[in-house]
Amino acid sequence: MQEILTLLADSNILFPDPEKALDEPDGLLAVGGNLSIDTLLQAYHKGIFPWFSEDDPILWWSPGERMVLHPDQFHISKSLLKLLRKSKYQVTMDHDFSGVIHHCSTSRQRQEGTWITDEMMAAYIDLHRAGYAHSVEVWHEQTLVGGLYGVSLGSLFFGESMFSLQSNTSKIAFAALANQLHQWGFKLIDCQMHSTHLASLGAVTMPRQEFTGYLNRYCRTTPTGAHWKKAWQWIDHQQ
């Protein structure tokens, strides 16, 4: 195990083997580099993601155990199912990516200080325009009240962040995402770091080596019929 972090160049970036990530803090692998589309895509293909605060350099992570969700194993609680059945909400995909990521940033800033900096927002908006980053939006009376965003590569979705302005609207977005990805034949949703909230929704931990196997098998496979912008409004069809 390496004892010091890899310092990445500003350009021509080559990430180290994720198995060289630190044990403490868990998964910290490298520092520096940039947030260009090419760099981010290289990172995600290797199971690496950026996560840093406003005053930090860019930090890159690959935790020893990954929190993941198989799309067909999303757990809908009785209370969430009841909410879905009488829902006044509508769900769309890729209709307001910028709005979702800005709300995610603002929400986290209120809770714990955001890691979704202006630099990160600009990078993922570029990734969205390039067709790799996607959003799920939850609407109430034409107002955006919940959602999530992440990166889609092949048959894998890498979740980044979600927000709720009304109770459980992020769960509605996650349920809609899992349902749609299951229909498209996606194999896995990467949730990155463990949390009891994610575990309650059906996510489980997966060792890094097993997760790397999924990356090698499914990052370049083409899901069936995936068209984010035209994804059907899942909540309406559950009523």
* Domain coverage including residue 14: 6-63
Q: Are 52 and 99 within one domain?
A: no
Which strand (E) or helix (H) includes residue 125? helix 118-129
Residue 110's pLDDT band (cuts 50, 70, 90)? very low
Q: 207 pairs with which residues across the strands? A: 65
Question: Could you tell me which residue, 152 or 78, shows the higher pLDDT?
Answer: 152
Distance of alpha carbon 144 from alpha carbon 89, whole angstroms:
10
Residue 43's pLDDT band (cuts 50, 70, 90)? very high
Output the pLDDT for position 117: 92
User: What is the share, in percent, of the chain residues with pLDDT greater than 70?
Assistant: 90
Instruction: Evaluate if residue 238 carries a pLDDT over 50.
Output: no
Instruction: Evaluate if residue 234 carries a pLDDT over 80.
Output: no
Q: What is the mean pLDDT of the chain?
A: 90
CATH number assigned to the domain comprising residue 163:
3.40.630.70
Closest to 160 measured CA to CA, from 204, 202, 115:
115
> Domain boundary residue among 63, 86, 105?
63
User: What mean pLDDT comes out for the span 61-77?
Assistant: 96
Strand-by-strand arrangement of the 6-8 sheet: 6-8, 28-32, 59-61, 49-50
- 3 state DSSP class of 151: strand
Question: Could you tell me which residue, 113 or 173, shows the higher pLDDT?
Answer: 173
Distance of alpha carbon 216 from alpha carbon 187, whole angstroms:
12
Residue 146 belongs to a domain: yes
Residue 195 belongs to a domain: yes
Residues near 83 by beta carbon (within 8 Å), at least 6 away in sequence: 168, 172
Output the pLDDT for position 226: 72
Q: Are 193 and 99 within one domain?
A: yes
Instruction: Evaluate if residue 133 carries a pLDDT over 50.
Output: yes
Q: Are 37 and 110 within one domain?
A: no
Half-sphere exposure of 195 (CA within 13 A, CB side): 8
Q: Are 107 and 211 within one domain?
A: yes
Residue 214 belongs to a domain: yes
User: What mean pLDDT comes out for the span 156-164?
Assistant: 96
Q: Are 160 and 220 within one domain?
A: yes
Output the pLDDT for position 103: 96
Give Cα separations from 49 to 31, 63, 173, 191 (angstroms): 11, 10, 22, 11
Residue 1 belongs to a domain: no
> Domain boundary residue among 14, 40, 63?
63
Q: Are 72 and 55 within one domain?
A: no
Output the pLDDT for position 237: 44
DSSP state of 215: H
Residue 136 belongs to a domain: yes
Residue 113's pLDDT band (cuts 50, 70, 90)? low
- 3 state DSSP class of 133: strand
Question: Could you tell me which residue, 222 or 34, shows the higher pLDDT?
Answer: 34
CATH number assigned to the domain comprising residue 57:
3.30.70.3550
User: What mean pLDDT comes out for the span 63-90?
Assistant: 90
User: What mean pLDDT comes out for the span 174-186?
Assistant: 94
User: What mean pLDDT comes out for the span 122-150?
Assistant: 96
Q: Rounded to the nearest 5 degrees, what angle is found at the Cα of 126, between the Cα atoms of 188 and 151?
A: 5
Residue 232 belongs to a domain: yes
Q: Are 82 and 160 within one domain?
A: yes
Q: Are 204 and 164 within one domain?
A: yes
What's the total number of domains in the chain?
Answer: 2
Q: Are 170 and 212 within one domain?
A: yes
Residue that is written with structure tokens 């912008």 in the block: 229
